[in-house]
Structure 1
Amino acid sequence: MWLINQIREKMIRKWVALNIGVTGLVIGIIGFSVKELACRKFNEYASSSLHAQQFRKSIGEDLFDAGLLTLILAILIHLFFAKKILNPLNQLSHTTKELDKTKDSPFPTHLKDEIGQIANKLNEITNQVSHLHKQKNQMMVDLGHELRTPLTTLTGYLEGLEEGVFVPNEQVYSILKKECFQLTHLVNKIQELHQWESGRKNIDRYWIESGKALQSSIEPFQTEMNKRDIERVIQVESATLYCDSNALHTVVSHIFDNVVRYNIGKKVIVKGKSYRDNYVISISNQGMPIPKEAEKQLFDHFFRVENSRNRETGGFGLGLSIAKEIVHQLGGEIGFYSRSGFHTFWFTIPIEKEGH
């Protein structure tokens, strides 16, 4: 029963079968060679052919018993080490069947060999799947919330108009129009994000001057900044970029909208400079406090630091997701860091030499 339990796993059975075949072949060849050599030497000194036959039979039986015992010992030793080697692989195999049900990092990472490397990679994949699963669930909750609010308002007012509770007037029409605009704006944002993620938006690259591109992207926010008495500081190193001007404008607009919306300071600093093979653009300001654990989620779909999702204090939480996807389409990276309440969004654009 112990032996049956040991070879229950498919991989163990394969290794045992291979071991039996190889060991049996080696024992057979060696046994046959030893038997023939011994019989040949014995025949040289045997007094009769009968003695030679008896010797051949006797040595054949002894070699068979020795070979069988050697094979059994080899199988047992092989089983012991095979279990040690293959147990981590079996664990990987069993766990990958239920990736969506596992906790983060379920695989053994104490191993330092190739199996350990596979386990580390699978742990990374599992953590990503777990994060995406949580993100998907949260996205559905947030989307339902964003849709429920305007739809509830629209339904309430339409029922009120139908039952005569509300009198049709300019104020009611304005409220209905505002809610319809909210729904349309949300659908447009979702559609824009989907187009970038699915590759339906084409990147139309041509040579642009960094300073002018950034200036034109920031200009639409000047009126709002003047209202809030926010100073704009631009420190841009001039560079010629092979980039999609509209895509760059969209990225800067989404980041700048977020920065201005949550600004609590008196200035916004825009920097641009060449660094190695990239052009790095950063937008910094003194913003509302962001918890450390929330910083990694800023670019997730529908994520907002303010959990109540109050329309007066924020958008839909899609602007930074769109910016992230566009930057990746442009071949760059995007990120965020905060120091003493001073927040910085940054992204890179690969620099290509003219003529290449």
Structure 2
Amino acid sequence: MKISIKLGLWFFVCILIIETSSMMYLHRNIVHSRVHQELESLKARGNSHRDVLEISSDPSTLHHIGLMESQTDTEVVITKTNGEMIETSRNIDESIKEIINRPLRSIPNEGLILESDWKKEKYISTVSLFKDENGNSGYVYMFKSTDQVKNFISQLNKHFLLASLLILFFMIVTIFFLSKALTKPLIKMKEATKNLSNGDFSVSLPVKSNDELGELSNSIQTLASDLKYMKQERDDFLASISHELRTPLTYIKGYSDIGRKPTLNEKERIHYLDIIHEESERINLLLQELFELATLDQNTFSVVKERVHLCSFFKSIYEKVSPAFKEKEIQLNVECDEQLFLPLDITRFGQVLLNLLDNALKYSKEKTITQINVNKIEGNIYIDITDQGMGIPKDDIPYIFERLYRVEKSRSRTTGGFGMGLAIVKQLVEAHGGQITVKSKVGEGTVFTIVLREE
């Protein structure tokens, strides 16, 4: 069953129950109010006649009361307290006699309702007690045929039936369009998710509302965009890996074919073997970095922290890389507060620093300075690595931490690298609960800033 039909049925049943309950409650209260109004009107007319009789109860007054009621839809019967009839507006029937002959209990001054059952009885009735100027007592009985009440209720039932049918019609029409309006975006979302499952990520779901449906539409649109980006990133990744592997493999195959020639002298053979060895090392390095990324993505690596004296740690890093910096005539400086300690995985975080310093070394010219500053600011440890290298173009900065992204699009073999170092750096920093940012200006240099919380 379609969701539009389900929603329509749910709306219909719920609204039908509410409307039926409301109509029944309203009908019952209108009928009750109408009957109560008729009884109070009867009682008021009886009390009015009583007031007249207490002033004057002569035959002309009695006749006038009877004559007046004979012209209305009510009837009056005036009796003495012993039941003897003094005046009637019409000939009385057995139903009236039966009511008159009922024993009466004490009658309050505002009168008494004798019969209120309009469904079963022929009349509804009230009685009022009067005492004339001579001290004689009697009763004023007022009657009204229940046929009039039943006719009113019959008309009321017709109006309620017509109103119910109209409400039912408009309810069905409203539910139809409402269910369509509600399910239309859901149907579009279903089609969109079906397209996503088939690999089509070019879905478009305009967000037309700020409610839950709008949020769901926005989430599906975001998912489609993310999947499209991931697919593009995967394709680029595979293309880049294919390119990175093809080049050294081509060198290895080509130079191995040359090296197999029997006419080749020993010096040339060794030269070609050196090239083959270099390219093999390049492939090995690429595979190591790929394995490192795969391990980080699957969260199968572990960060084992220990309390580290930062100055000693950076001094050991300095000793490892300083020969390479001196060889290229780049001055490497380290400034660190002696009082700083931080929980770190020495191996993993050392890998972060070596990657960043290796980049500074590759992209900086001779006679420049690379500076490492370690400071504590507002409870956080800030590590700045600043070089005076060629810098990073502004358009490339947002992407440099993506895997296989290289600022140098030519992929020069002289600079080395596969574009995965900074991706590994970012994930290792985040594994330590920190974050890394970069500022750079072409021709002036680059600053990488690592922020770690002091635990």
Q: CA deviation at 1:78?
A: 5.0
Give unmatched runs, 5+ long, in structure 2: 36-117, 125-143
Q: Is the 8 A contact 2:314 2:334 kept in 1?
A: no
Counterpart AA for 2:16: G
* Partner residue in 2 for 1:214: 314
SS of aligned partner of 1:273: strand
* Partner residue in 2 for 1:343: 446
TM-score (norm 2): 0.66
Q: Could you tell me how far apart the structure 2 residues matched to 1:89 and 1:241 are? A: 52
Q: Is the 8 A contact 1:203 1:244 kept in 2?
A: yes
Task: Choose the corresponding residue for 1:69, options 166, 170, 178.
Answer: 166
* Partner residue in 2 for 1:281: 383
- 1:230 equivalent to 2:222? Answer no
Q: Is the 8 A contact 1:204 1:243 kept in 2?
A: yes
Counterpart AA for 1:191: F
Greater shift, 251-260 or 237-246, is seen at 237-246
* Partner residue in 2 for 1:196: 296
SS of aligned partner of 2:9: helix
Higher Rg of the two aligned structures? 2
Q: CA deviation at 1:187?
A: 1.1
Task: Choose the corresponding residue for 2:244, options 146, 163, 183.
Answer: 146
* Partner residue in 2 for 1:244: 345
For this pair of structures, how many residues does the alignment match? Answer: 342
Q: Could you tell me how far apart the structure 1 residues matched to 2:148 and 2:270 are? A: 125
What per-residue deviation string (whole Å, max 9, x for no partner) do you get for residues 25-73 of structure 1?
1222233334445556563667466983x76665444423311211222
* Partner residue in 2 for 1:23: 15
Q: Is the 8 A contact 1:232 1:267 kept in 2?
A: yes
Distance 1:120 1:332, change over 3 A: farther
Q: Is the 8 A contact 2:259 2:272 kept in 1?
A: no
Q: Could you tell me how far apart the structure 2 residues matched to 1:324 and 1:60 are? A: 77
Q: Could you tell me how far apart the structure 2 residues matched to 1:155 and 1:59 are? A: 100
SS of aligned partner of 1:251: helix
TM-score (norm 1): 0.83
Q: Could you tell me how far apart the structure 2 residues matched to 1:38 and 1:181 are? A: 96
Q: Could you tell me how far apart the structure 1 residues matched to 2:224 and 2:365 are? A: 39
Distance 1:68 1:167, change over 3 A: farther
SS of aligned partner of 2:392: coil
Counterpart AA for 2:21: I
Counterpart AA for 2:161: F
Q: Is the 8 A contact 1:254 1:323 kept in 2?
A: yes
Which is helix-richer, 1 or 2?
1
SS of aligned partner of 2:388: strand
* Partner residue in 2 for 1:135: 233
Q: Is the 8 A contact 1:88 1:108 kept in 2?
A: no
Q: Could you tell me how far apart the structure 1 residues matched to 2:315 and 2:297 are? A: 27
Counterpart AA for 1:346: T
Q: Is the 8 A contact 2:205 2:217 kept in 1?
A: yes
Q: Could you tell me how far apart the structure 2 residues matched to 1:190 and 1:346 are? A: 25
Q: CA deviation at 1:14?
A: 3.7
Task: Choose the corresponding residue for 2:24, options 13, 17, 32.
Answer: 32
SS of aligned partner of 1:311: coil
- 1:178 equivalent to 2:170? Answer no
Counterpart AA for 1:255: L
Distance 1:288 1:210, change over 3 A: same
* Partner residue in 2 for 1:155: 253
* Partner residue in 2 for 1:300: 402
Q: Is the 8 A contact 1:23 1:71 kept in 2?
A: no
Distance 1:208 1:295, change over 3 A: same
Q: Could you tell me how far apart the structure 2 residues matched to 1:310 and 1:190 are? A: 20
Q: Is the 8 A contact 2:389 2:446 kept in 1?
A: yes
Q: Could you tell me how far apart the structure 1 residues matched to 2:12 and 2:320 are? A: 78
* Partner residue in 2 for 1:95: 192
Q: Could you tell me how far apart the structure 2 residues matched to 1:278 and 1:201 are? A: 25
Greater shift, 330-339 or 27-36, is seen at 27-36
Percent of aligned pairs with the same amino acid: 22
Task: Choose the corresponding residue for 1:253, options 331, 354, 370.
Answer: 354
Q: 1:36-115 residue pairs with structure 2 within 5 A?
A: 36-37=28-29, 41=34, 43=118, 47=145, 52=150, 59-78=156-175, 91-99=188-196, 101-103=200-202, 106-109=204-207, 111-115=209-213
Q: CA deviation at 1:88?
A: 5.1
Greater shift, 107-116 or 23-32, is seen at 107-116
SS of aligned partner of 1:264: coil
Q: Is the 8 A contact 2:393 2:441 kept in 1?
A: no
